Amino acid sequence: MKARLDYGKVAVGIYESMDALDRYVGACSLDEHLLHLVRLRASQINGCAYCLDMHWKDLRALGEEEQRLYSLDAWRECPYYTDRERAALAWTEAVTLISEGHVPDSVYEGVRPHFNERELADLTLAVATINAWNRLSIAARLVPGAYRPAAIVS
């Protein structure tokens, strides 16, 4: 696979804008671990190889178990996820697949006991942001494999 576009060279403002969203999401009310889980699930749905590679590695660097990672696309059938994670994953899928149901009330009602309004707003932006990254990465054909997670500071 050969990359098509280098946004950093041809339109640096794209990365600057997306990085601003990432800075907000990174400092938001949600746990970093949950954010990467949501990013990985959206990337699975969208088929973004670059982002799958990135967020899998980020989660492993945070100590995530392999079993939860390789079962993520079947999270409904697996006992490895908390109720809060399940609610976030259902919300992620509904927002990512927006054309298939416009985020049904049942999904909203399922997420509300686990997230306050601020957290739900932050979760929604996190999902929207990874969906934008997925689309940019897929369109540019970014090549997966070279990403290395930042060192984890304890």
User: Domain boundaries in the chain?
Assistant: 8-140
Model-level pTM? 0.94
Is 126 in contact with 33 (CB distance < 8 Å)? no
What is the pLDDT, as a whole number, of residue 2?
A: 87
Residues above pLDDT 70, as percent of the chain: 97
Q: Name every residue whose Cβ is closer than 8 Å to that of residue 67 and which is 6 or more positions away in sequence.
A: 80
Phi, psi of 142 (to 5 degrees): -60, 135
Fold for the domain defined by 8-140: AhpD-like (1.20.1290)
